Amino acid sequence: MVVVTGGAGFIGSCFLKKLNDEGVSDVLVVDYLGEANKWKNLVGKQFTDIIHPDVFREDLLDGDYMDDIEVIIHLGACSATTEKNADYLLDNNYRYSVDLAAYSASNDVRFIYASSAATYGIGEQGYSDTLSHTLRPLNMYGYSKLLFDNWILNNGLQESCVGIRYFNVFGPNEYHKSDMASMVYKAFCQIEQTGKIKLFKSNSPQYKDGEQKRDFVYVKDVCDVMWKLVKDTSIAGLFNLGTGNARNWNEVANAVFHAVGIEPRIEYIEMPDALKQQYQNYTEADMSKLAQTSAAHEFQTLESSVNDYVGEYLFTKKMYW
């Protein structure tokens, strides 16, 4: 059995689709559904059961899944970079991960988990996935992810599991994420409503408005890499997962306008004060480490990814992958 925590979420539900496409249906989905429309991410997908994360954690530690689990794909976490409740993040993102990793190590279960590019902070030390202990995240979300990366290192488990530092992932099934949804999705919605896209003005003299850069990666590419990491059990360690090619917000906006088929209209607005002190103006994944493994991947361009997302899902109202 494959366990996917966060299996009804954005990346989790897309990876469930990838598993199904590869003939894997013995999957236990671990997730909260709540009152949002996250359940729609599961429609049409095959899995054995769905269980609440608190129940799964208790059952796992009680030994209820002995010999049943082959691999745990741990994607479940609070991904809100604006979350202020540090105690909640420590339990939900850090201690929960520790419990699953410790179980996996003790029971010879392959463990693949989600870290984040938020661990790199403003990137003053670069974006190499060989870095960990010295990094300085800008928010508690990033710190909770770094704490777990460091726990893995401190306990000598880096050669028996896989950590993935996701960069700016976008694509179908992200609609429940609200403010944390990608700018590609938000841009499409803004075009539908107003015919224009709003971008934050730059908060740094190094960048003109809209020229702040991020490493944007399509969720379908992400799932292809993850599947390779599941198949090749010899791969271990902490890896970046972006394209390795930073693009700016203006290019993102123009790609969405092109996919919709209208002339660009961009308005630059003030950045909220709450974001100014924790805003990453530049990220670009160093992909050299992953490139040396069997999980190496040729990523789609930003433009081709946006065309697929907008054309096949948003514009057609098909929405879900």
Which amino acid, one-letter code, is at 101?
A
- The catalytic residue among 177, 213, 228, 289 is 177
User: Is residue 32 among the annotated active site residues?
Assistant: no
Triad 248, 189, 179: Cα angle to 5° = 70
Residue 184 near residue 252, CB atoms below 8 Å: yes
If you write DSSP's letter for every residue of 220-248 in order, what string do you get?
HHHHHHHHHHHH-TT--EEEEES-S--EE
Summary count for the chain: helices (H), strands (E): 11, 13
| Collapsed DSSP state (helix, strand, coil) of residue 111 | strand
Backbone angles phi, psi at 4, to 5 degrees: -120, 105
Strands of the chain, DSSP E: 2-5, 27-30, 49-51, 71-74, 110-116, 161-166, 168-170, 197-200, 213-214, 216-218, 237-241, 247-248, 266-269
CB atoms within 10 A of CB 15: 25
Structure tokens at 220: 């379908």
141 labelled catalytic: yes
The rounded Cα 284 to chain-centroid distance in angstroms is 15
Say which of 113, 141, 143, 166 is annotated catalytic.
Answer: 141
Angstrom distance (rounded) from CA 3 to CA 99: 14
Tokens of 237: 């360690």
Q: Which residues are catalytic?
A: 141, 177
